Chains A and B, each alone.
Chain A
Amino acid sequence: MSIADKIKSGDILTMSRLIRDIDDGMPEAEITLQKLFKHSGDSKILGITGLPGAGKSTLTSLLISYYRKQNKRVGVVAVDPTSPFSGGAILGDRIRMQEHNADSDVFIKSVATRGSFGGLSKSVVDIVRIMEAAGKDIIIIETVGVGQDEIDVVRLAGQVLVVTAPGLGDDIQAIKAGILEIADIFVVNKCDLVGAEKAASELKDAAEDNITGDLKPIVMTDSIHIKGIDELTESIDIGFDKFNNDNIKNEYLDRRYRYEIEYKVRDKLTETIRESFENDPVFKDILKAVRDKKMDPYTAVTKIMKNVKLT
């Protein structure tokens, strides 16, 4: 059986090894991904983002339980930050999802950002594809704890939950211009704590859709005492039902594939340019000319754009 066929049959060992190869940038993994492409695009992809400590992982665990009760197969990609100093990482999200460790229909993958800035790792888009091809009905992407600008998840997920918690005070202000805009549903978690109502009311401005004026759902949850989860899952289900409309589905797929292609092109270009500076005499001459003040960096950029060898 080929690797692609094994993945389509849901073979866990093959899936996890291929994901490892992708994370490690092994070029041969791409051949399998090409074969898997036509078996992807139909799963529900739910993004969960928000500040560190807001309760994203615990909430994810409750959502896994919800989908497992419906006998849905679940994939989770949980992203945690890579240390800029050692290159190491502690991947601690799945500690909150322990109860699913013995369930063979729940596949949880922890990944580190490895230098990516958008709140995801470079590999997430391909990991999602593998999970889709392996027949996961729902795939939950949990981003790193984010602040303002880490919004890549909105380009990949069909729906995004932005999770916050009371007591974060000014942080809500701080994120107003950034991730609040990408939410489909707002979650005020830890709603048993003082200030939950205030946190929810402060979100009302951001919850008004810029275009339609509709109010996006603001759901209060308490993951420890399991409150508000039914309301949350209902909002998520309503959100995914919209994808039964072909126009909405196509709009989403266009966004997703455009992001993926743009990201990959940019990645390859960055690598090509980096290599050219090391190996190509034309690039070296340009750099020397700038250093000697015979050329300005703006002209250098134009020249490099003309000389970059696209393969």
Chain B
Amino acid sequence: MKRKKRILVGKVGLDGHDRGAKILARAFRDAGFEVVYSGLHQTPEMIANMAIQEAVDGVGLSLLSGAHNHLFPEVARLIKEKGADNIVIFGGGTIPDKDVAFLKESGISEIFLPGTSLDIIINWADNNL
């Protein structure tokens, strides 16, 4: 029996820009994923709870406020702390090149920089979730 892939598209912190997250959610839907969208202004705790309740394969975090170095690792830490270390976490947004290495060391599997096409993200998720 083949499992249906499930993903949480999450907006964390004080960032009201969700056009990108919604476009991504729709692209995942069209690629056959079941997509839970968190809505805006979630704390890392809320994202972690949602990811666990929904038993998703992956969490895609979108952030355009600049707080990614603080918020992304916190989501990763909480999800792990709650015992769901099988959940793959990735992210994107207005993130500079120089932060990628740190984020990858902090439990984020992949970072997609500005200008990344939807296909690349979907393919990555298909292969890594």
A residues near B (Cβ < 8 Å) are 12-13, 16-17, 19-20, 23-27, 82-83, 85-92, 94-95, 98, 101-102, 104, 107-110, 112, 114
Contacts and interface: CB of A to CB of B under 8 A. Distances in A.
Contact of A88 (B1, B35, B46, B50): B35
A17 B38 CA distance: 19
A16 B55 contact: yes
Contacts, number: 89
Contact of A98 (B39, B45, B53, B55): B39
19 contacts: A12-B82, A13-B83, A16-B52, A27-B1, A83-B29, A83-B30, A85-B30, A86-B31, A88-B35, A89-B35, A91-B37, A91-B54, A95-B39, A98-B41, A101-B38, A101-B46, A109-B54, A110-B36, A114-B4
Contact of A91 (B1, B3, B36, B42): B36
Contact of A12 (B3, B30, B46, B53): B53
Given A86-B29, A90-B26, A98 B46 contact: yes
B54 A16 contact: yes
A114 B38 CA distance: 21
Contacts of A110: 36, 54
Interface of B: 1, 3-4, 6, 25-26, 28-39, 41-43, 45-46, 49-50, 52-55, 82-84
Contact of A24 (B4, B30, B38, B41): B4
Nearest to B37: A92
A90 B82 CA distance: 25
Given A13-B83, A102-B46, A107 B38 contact: no
Nearest to A80: B34
Nearest to A19: B55
Given A16-B53, A98-B42, 16 more contacts: A12-B52, A13-B52, A13-B82, A24-B1, A27-B1, A86-B29, A88-B35, A90-B25, A94-B36, A95-B38, A98-B39, A98-B46, A101-B49, A101-B50, A109-B53, A109-B54
Of listed A27, A89, A104, residue having the most chain B CB within 10 A:
A89
Contacts of A88: 28-35
Given A24-B1, A88-B28, A114-B4, A17 B55 contact: yes
Contacts of B35: 88-91
Contacts of B82: 12-13
Contacts of A12: 52-53, 82
A91 B82 CA distance: 23
A114 B3 CA distance: 12
Contacts of B33: 88
A108 B127 CA distance: 28
Contacts of B45: 101-102
